[in-house]
A and B are shown apart, each in its own frame.
Chain A
């Protein structure tokens, strides 16, 4: 009997102590972490959206933790302890089959894109393996008053009727758009030095240093989900860049301007696009933007004069001046 007590009881006592030390006490202490500056609780609708996210297991493919590693910089700044103050259940996740979503509201602010992507990810990203969430939508003969149908491209759309989001989809998109990392005062991204180290205003008059491979890569990473790798966009939602007047114009100023500042509700080639073009001024460096522009100006049959990082820098300075 004594032996049994020693083995079962003794080991359990040891384990209980370790559990308190390694599980319970860190749990209690870290639960008290105060919210970081600018970290706000969700609105009721966004909170509902978060529940849809949890119920459908988005976090088995999407992390919400940006690590302090160079490769994670594309997803935003590193996640800080204060970011998690209102996050119960936590959604850090352990697998990144899809991109990190900590800052998706800033990276992809277009609600229309989010609806199309959720209804059928392959309608905007043909190579995607993300499951479709068409069960969060309804197909109706006619959209009720005040509800805009989702502009699903032809091959993906139902044969009859139009697609409208259910309340769950509306809440989920509200949640996704709320995912914006508040800036941490005084935080300097460690890699910030890298892209801008390529001197923005290189020797004037020098031949534009256009790195075609880099341009294609940057376009794929930042623009293709809307304008598509083919440059043809999605009819009626995202404008084509192939044969686009702004891209073919000899003067790249307008093109630079759109990429820096984004665009919404403008009239492009007689169409008002419901999609929204995000601003890239705080995401891409001058050299990167010039590379993307030159990619667009030399692809899909486009032939127009190249832009230089200096052009981008000049436009950026002008915009700053106007502010």
Chain B
């Protein structure tokens, strides 16, 4: 069962394949559209730091309303829909069965989109549940999102339950786990009756990190366990290590949330325990990354002009971003970096360098296997390099700038000096961000050609060496 590289598909009717293909296609297109929209907002935000007068004189254009639109739509629309689309494909194919219910998949997609559209409109009107990061959507909207998760969990579980393999392939552990755990996080976040004042701060710390670490992380890790063996044509280096990382991730992650509130009035023990487990997180992170890298080792030719490049960056983003997170959690480091733009750089290294690149790797690497249509290699390469270089500029600018900002404060300079000193770094961030955004337009274009677009003209196709389906 571990050798999914040789995928046979017993007893699957053409209708089943078509249904799975349509689901994968439409999820990916929706996700790509959301990516373009949400990062368009992101670019506007970046330019507002450079030209504060830029698109600013109306309430619906003000920074403080657009910022949560950018974060919530990248999280709950782009990444969530993109990951679920791939997870359905992985669940069906690794279980050698059909998708349990395309209908449920459509309902789920509808709910994800309704939540994201309603959330976007409400936030822009200034309607939110407080500026509690990543749970700004008002509770009725978060209930819709929860419903989407429940439907997804049901569909994934039922698909795996009808598997024609002996065991449950590791990918599905992660994706099913991720969806179910996130249902719990959502409920904890929505119920209002126990979160007041400092109590709400504790819940915010818990929620903020768990939404990232028990939703996007396991989904992306699960997809990696499927996509890497596929793209490198060999089984995962150590299945047992993957199982070990699964359980350690589950147990350590929920405990580290309060590291977002170091030096706050939260009880000292809650902050300290968060630091201790932030260090423990190195165990699953290094175990997981090593497992992926060892699976890829010695096959550099597979990276060349291939979706595997996205996967490689994704794995490195996971390794570097998460290790950086551990370093940031120490009180001595927080003294410099906490509350500075360094944190924003970190969240882009993880949500972009890790999660987003994994989704791209999954889409470019797996979607053609069911549609039979590959993206043009040149355009995929341009997408890759713009996104990668843009991200490096972005993260470096804010990491250096954030350090400067933190040191300015420690040196007791007038506050405004830290604003003035950030100017060049904010400009570089806007430049990097614009490159990233431009690459997303290409991605959308490429997705179209992998799904419903006409086959590309010959001239383009020449460069394709391609992945083998």
Contact = CB atoms under 8 A, between A and B. Distances in A.
A85 interface: yes
Interface string A9-32: 001101110110011101111111
B75 to A, nearest CB: 15
A57 interface: yes
Which 5 pairs show the lowest CB-CB distances between chains A and B?
A57-B64, A89-B130, A31-B199, A55-B126, A221-B414
B453 to A, nearest CB: 37
B194 to A, nearest CB: 5
B59 A135 contact: yes
B143 interface: no
10 contacts: A8-B177, A12-B177, A30-B202, A31-B198, A32-B199, A54-B128, A56-B59, A65-B261, A84-B265, A89-B130
B200 A31 contact: yes
B414 A220 contact: yes
Interface string B118-139: 0000000011111111000000
Interface stretch (A122-130, A172-180, A251-259): A122-130
A179 to B, nearest CB: 15
Contact of A95 (B128, B210, B335, B341): B341
Contact of A26 (B57, B63, B247, B270): B270
A4 B200 contact: no
A184 to B, nearest CB: 12
Given A7-B168, A8-B176, A96-B340, A24 B415 contact: no
B132 A89 contact: yes
B127 A55 contact: yes
Interface stretch (B30-38, B251-259, B279-287): B251-259
A84 B416 contact: no
Interface stretch (A68-76, A203-211, A233-241, A301-309): A68-76
Contacts of A129: 48-49, 52, 419, 426
A7 to B, nearest CB: 5
Given A11-B250, A95-B339, A4 B417 contact: no
Contacts of B59: 56, 135
A92 B340 CA distance: 14
Given A31-B196, A56-B65, A131-B52, A12 B202 contact: no
Nearest to A33: B198
Interface string B236-258: 00000000001100110011010
Contact of B260 (A54, A55, A94, A125): A94
B266 interface: yes
B263 interface: yes
Size category of the binding interface on chain B: 35 or more
A86 B200 CA distance: 11
A127 B188 contact: no
Given A11-B180, A80-B265, 4 more contacts: A59-B64, A74-B412, A85-B197, A217-B412
Contacts of A59: 64, 131
B207 interface: yes
Contact of A94 (B200, B335, B343): B343
A152 to B, nearest CB: 14
Nearest to B57: A134
B272 to A, nearest CB: 13
B264 interface: yes
Interface in B193-238: 194-204, 206-207, 210, 214
Interface string B315-354: 0000000000000000000010011110110000000000
A31 B409 contact: no
Nearest to B160: A4
Interface string A252-287: 000000000000000000000000000000000000
A93 B260 CA distance: 10
Interface of B: 48-49, 52-53, 56-59, 62-65, 67-68, 126-133, 157, 160-161, 167-168, 173, 176-177, 180-181, 184-185, 188, 194-204, 206-207, 210, 214, 246-247, 250-251, 254-255, 257, 260-261, 263-267, 270, 335, 338-341, 343-344, 409-410, 412-417, 419-420, 422, 426
Contacts of B412: 71, 74, 217
A162 to B, nearest CB: 18
B58 A22 contact: no
Interface residues of A, number: 76
Given A8-B157, A79-B264, A57 B339 contact: no
Contacts of A81: 198, 265
A29 B194 CA distance: 9
A3 B167 contact: yes
Given A11-B250, A12-B180, A31-B194, A58 B64 contact: yes
Nearest to A219: B414
A67 interface: yes
A29 B267 CA distance: 11
B267 A128 contact: no
B157 A4 contact: yes
A90 B64 contact: no
A57 B56 CA distance: 14
Contact of B132 (A30, A32, A90, A97): A90
A27 B185 CA distance: 13
Contacts of A97: 49, 341, 419, 422
A30 B62 contact: no
B254 A79 contact: no
A323 to B, nearest CB: 31
B42 to A, nearest CB: 13
Contacts of B339: 63, 93-96
Contact of B201 (A30, A56, A96): A30
Contacts of A125: 416
Nearest to B243: A7
B197 A27 contact: no
B130 A22 contact: no
Given A55-B128, A217-B414, A7 B176 contact: yes
Contacts of B63: 57, 60-61, 131
A322 interface: no
B134 to A, nearest CB: 11
A58 B173 CA distance: 40
Contacts of A74: 412, 415
A99 B413 CA distance: 12
A80 B263 CA distance: 10
B200 A15 contact: no
